[in-house]
């Protein structure tokens, strides 16, 4: 069965972690999940309780999503309801802070006093801080353990319909679910996350890179072609499945690809609202 772990050592990661480090952290997260919740939903609060990590869930303004501190011989997690407004985002925040606890280098740095309390802010694009990227990767694999994920998706075609099923099964955000499907590297695909302020970031997989779908995409919401599923979602249009889809072309999304050229392949574009966190676009070849 295909697995996120089966990609080649040089698979595309952009600003993310090295494959070896990704594998190490994913194994750690899966081991923690299997130890505490060998079946069913992984509950971060219960893991924290078993490790004697106390939790405060409250409105802390806009300063952070989550924070792990060590004080008086105990670890404590703060979860900010002002920024973690959905169940999936709150669960990810708690799992992220558990990552700082379970990843040895992070925990030991806190214990020694070499680093201050870990203050985590999600959204606005991938973090440039490797410590935060590692905790994000831990959180993703704790909430959706790799073996369970591969078994659940089977040979299903990646896309937002499957991402919504993964979201419901593992109680994670649609963004997290879509990124995991991209990371399977089963077909050329990528996600583009549109922030509420108009900015965006993207995550392609290795096959997308090899097929010329990993270059610079359009950079702002104002550049999104009119009539596309993404433009319609951002304008407030909805659909019964929870997302909109349309046929598109590579040239519509990648300025360096000339319309009608050999590289201008046909794509399936799917888009979903992430209100209040923006919108998400999922692109893959139209014919699979």
What is the CATH code of the structural domain delimited by 185-285? 3.30.450
What confidence tens digit (pLDDT) does each residue in 217-262 have?
998 899 999 999 999 999 999 888 899 999 999 999 999 999 999 9
What confidence tens digit (pLDDT) does each residue in 130-182 have?
889 999 999 999 999 999 999 999 999 999 999 999 999 999 999 999 999 99
**3-state SS, residue 183:** helix
What is the CATH code of the structural domain delimited by 14-143? 1.10.10.2910
Contact 230, 267 (CB under 8 A): no
pLDDT grade, residue 61 (50/70/90)? confident
- Omega within 30 of 0 (cis) for the link into 276: yes
Domain ranges of the chain: 14-143, 185-285
CA atoms of 191 and 185, how far apart (whole Å): 13
**3-state SS, residue 284:** strand
- With 50 as the cut, is the pLDDT of residue 6 above it? no
Contact 274, 282 (CB under 8 A): no
The radius of gyration of the chain from alpha carbons, rounded to an integer in Å, stands at 19
């Amino acid at each position: 069965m295909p697995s996120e772990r089966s990609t080649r050592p040089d698979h595309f990661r952009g600003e993310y972690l090295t494959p070896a480090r990704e594998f190490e952290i994913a194994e750690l997260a899966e081991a923690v999940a299997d130890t505490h919740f060998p079946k069913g939903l992984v509950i971060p609060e219960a893991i924290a309780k078993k490790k004697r990590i106390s939790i405060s869930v409250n409105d802390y303004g806009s300063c952070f999503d989550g924070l792990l501190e060590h004080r008086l011989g105990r670890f404590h997690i703060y979860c900010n309801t002002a920024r973690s407004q959905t169940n999936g985002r709150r669960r990810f925040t708690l799992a992220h802070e558990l990552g700082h606890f379970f990843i040895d280098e992070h925990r030991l740095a806190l214990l020694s006093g070499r680093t201050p309390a870990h203050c985590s802010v999600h959204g606005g694009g991938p973090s440039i801080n490797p410590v935060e990227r590692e905790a994000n990767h831990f959180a993703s694999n704790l909430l959706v353990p790799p073996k369970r994920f591969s078994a659940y998706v089977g040979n299903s075609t990646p896309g937002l319909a499957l991402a919504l099923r993964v979201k419901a099964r593992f109680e994670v955000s649609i963004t997290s679910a879509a990124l995991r499907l991209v990371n399977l590297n089963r077909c050329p695909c990528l996600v583009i996350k549109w922030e509420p302020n108009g900015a965006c970031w993207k995550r392609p997989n290795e096959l997308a890179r090899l097929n010329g779908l990993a270059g610079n995409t359009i950079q702002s919401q104002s550049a999104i072609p009119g009539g596309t599923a993404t433009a319609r979602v951002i304008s407030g249009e909805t659909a019964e499945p929870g997302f909109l889809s349309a046929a598109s072309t590579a040239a519509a999304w990648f300025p360096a690809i000339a319309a009608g050229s050999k590289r201008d392949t046909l794509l399936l574009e799917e888009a979903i609202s992430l209100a209040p966190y923006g919108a998400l676009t999922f692109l893959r070849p139209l014919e699979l």
